[in-house]
């Protein structure tokens, strides 16, 4: 996934929540004062993060957040962790060839029996 920036994060929040005028939010905006955080908006925000950034977040992770930057930092950390975990699953060309060679040899041995 490409690197996310605070500017893009803010633009997406403003687009998702029509009650927030475009250009109003800054990284230092108070998170809890930015939107009327009733249960519906809180749930919408969590779902928005889960869908937009393909990471799972829960309300508890935002309780300590004071600013939009704090919220962004939580999301970015999760995105970075997810990207790092995924990269561990990718094999190099050399590893792929070795794995394919071992599999091919195993299949040939079974066919020969």
37 domain-assigned: yes
User: Quick one: which of 57, 68, 55 has its CA closest to 7?
Assistant: 68
Asked whether the predicted pLDDT for residue 86 surpasses 60, the reply is no
Each residue's pLDDT tens digit, 8-55: 999 999 998 888 889 999 999 998 888 777 878 888 888 999 999 988
The pair of structure tokens assigned to 9 is 């994060």
**Residue 99 neighbours by CB under 8 Å, 6+ apart:** 91
The pTM for the full model equals: 0.70
The answer to whether 68 touches 29, Cβ cutoff 8 Å, is yes
Residue 96 has pLDDT above 70, yes or no: no
Give the number of other CB atoms < 10 A from CB of residue 85. 9
Number of domains present in the structure of the chain? 1
User: In 3D, which of 55, 66, 9, 10 has the Cα closest to residue 33?
Assistant: 66
Within-domain flag for 20: yes
Which CATH number goes with the domain that contains 63? 1.10.1200.10
Q: Tell me: pLDDT of 97 over 70.
A: no
Higher local confidence (pLDDT), 61 or 99: 61
């Amino acid at each position: 996934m490409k690197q996310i920036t605070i500017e893009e994060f803010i633009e997406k929040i403003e687009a998702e929540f029509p009650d927030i005028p475009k250009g109003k939010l800054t990284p230092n905006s108070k998170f809890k004062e930015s939107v009327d955080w009733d249960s519906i908006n809180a749930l919408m925000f969590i779902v928005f993060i889960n869908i937009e950034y393909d990471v799972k977040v829960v309300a508890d992770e935002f309780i300590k957040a004071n600013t939009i930057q704090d919220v962004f930092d939580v999301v970015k950390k999760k995105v970075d962790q997810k990207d790092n975990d995924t990269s561990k699953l990718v094999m190099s060309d050399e590893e792929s060839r070795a794995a394919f060679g071992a599999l091919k040899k195993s299949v040939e041995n079974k066919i020969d029996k």
